[in-house]
Amino acid sequence: MDVRNILVVISLALSIVIGLLIGRGNQTAAAGEGGRPLIGMSLDTLKEARWQSDRDMFKARCAALGADVLVNAANSDDSQQARDVQSLLTAKVQVLLLVPHDGLAMAASVEAAKKQGIPVISYDRLTQNCDLDLYISFDNVRVGHQQGQYLIDHLHTPGHGKIVRIYGAPTDNNAKLFKQGQDEALKPYIDRHDIEVVHEDWAEDWKPENAKRIMNAAITKGANFEAVLASNDGTAGGAIQALSEAGLAGKVMVTGQDAEVAACQRIAAGTQAMTIYKPLKDLTAVAAETAVKMARHEVIIAKDTVNNGKIDVPAILRDTVVVTKDNLLQTVIKDGFHTYDEIYGDLPADKRPPKP
């Protein structure tokens, strides 16, 4: 690490420590039973399996560290999430871990927590235009770039072809970061007219049925395309359902991300080309360890920053892995994220790789 990077690390670490020391003087939150730190977790939703996993792993790691966790889920309702946060503040949590449905709408809730001296971690999704303490996520621009580059490399003629793009929820800052990374990969090819986007739209709330509607629109207007750049596994699933009904599943390349079990099953079966594996066990462990350190006013070091429209937020960003049919065994199965039988159990024996 060169001197500039060392200075950045020290500077960020000090900024967090200073913020916590200021918070210590104002903080009204009390520890949980027996003096255990009490962490609040406000989730956008628990309707997706991915978020259930985040919750369970975060709680388990906090428990192992001697902390208690209160969890609320808002079911993608901004008003409900604001009430959830207020409920957690009333319960006197010492740290708030926030997964916003709408990163802008939750800024007021972050400021309300800060007025009570409670530090706020934005987890996975960035909360915007507020004095956020810390952002913990994957490098979501890189995720989008990985998706875009995979598509470019695996078109029938690499770097040439017609595609459909399905973006995520317009209220989710991550969806915009995924698009940013995709754009970075695709722009030179689009500018040269080597790749043409024949249809594109945003899938509200990341719902598969909205992605299916977008895919149906592309099919109905007779667009000739060979790939779908879907921004996550849920939207990929909706797109593949529409493609299946049109007799095109497995003939059109479809991307995804999150490495959901259903997506990995589709990859094994050949209807989805790839996904992005985000080691959630690692991310939730880092989030839990950091939240508990914050509650105990211990030093935290963040090596990155992400601007949220108001400040450069200290950030801890983890890396991600491209998963295809060729490395399912070496990634999600090896890490215990999914089991062999979960992914391959419904396939004929002759279509399964040897069991490790």
What CATH number did the domain enclosing 146 receive? Answer: 3.40.50.2300
Question: What is the maximum alpha-carbon separation in the chain?
Answer: 65
pTM of the model: 0.74
For position 32, what pLDDT does the model report? Answer: 53
Q: For residue 306, report the phi and psi dihedrals to the nearest 5 degrees.
A: -135, 125
Residues 347 and 235 in one domain: yes
% pLDDT > 90, the chain? 81
pLDDT band at 111 (very low <50, low <70, confident <90, very high): very high
pLDDT band at 16 (very low <50, low <70, confident <90, very high): very low
Q: Where are the alpha helices (DSSP H) in 31-172?
A: 49-64, 78-90, 107-115, 140-154
pLDDT tens-digit series, residues 229-278: 999 999 999 999 999 999 999 999 999 999 999 999 999 999 999 999 98
% pLDDT > 70, the chain? 90
Q: Are 150 and 267 spatial neighbours (Cβ–Cβ below 8 Å)? A: no
Place of tokens 């459909």: 164
pLDDT tens-digit series, residues 203-221: 999 999 999 999 999 999 8
pLDDT tens-digit series, residues 322-344: 999 999 999 999 988 899 999 99
Average pLDDT taken over every residue of the chain = 90
- Of the candidates 282, 319, 316, the residue with the CA atom closest to the CA atom of residue 53: 282
Residues 181 and 312 in one domain: no
Give the separation between CA 311 and CA 217, rounded to whole angstroms.
Answer: 40
Q: Are 242 and 216 spatial neighbours (Cβ–Cβ below 8 Å)? A: yes
- Of the candidates 5, 30, 15, the residue with the CA atom closest to the CA atom of residue 295: 30
pLDDT band at 34 (very low <50, low <70, confident <90, very high): low
Sign of CA pseudo-dihedral 278, 282, 288, 294? negative
Mean pLDDT calculated for residue range 159-176 = 95
**DSSP states of 76-105:** T-HHHHHHHHHHHHHTT-SEEEE--SSTTT
Mean pLDDT calculated for residue range 344-351 = 92
Residues 147 and 244 in one domain: yes
For position 109, what pLDDT does the model report? Answer: 96
Residues 255 and 290 in one domain: no
Mean pLDDT calculated for residue range 292-313 = 94
Residues 334 and 192 in one domain: yes
Residues 292 and 229 in one domain: no
Number of domains observed in the structure of the chain: 2
Residues 273 and 287 in one domain: no
- Domain of residue 338 covers 140-278+326-351
For position 356, what pLDDT does the model report? Answer: 84
Residues 251 and 347 in one domain: yes
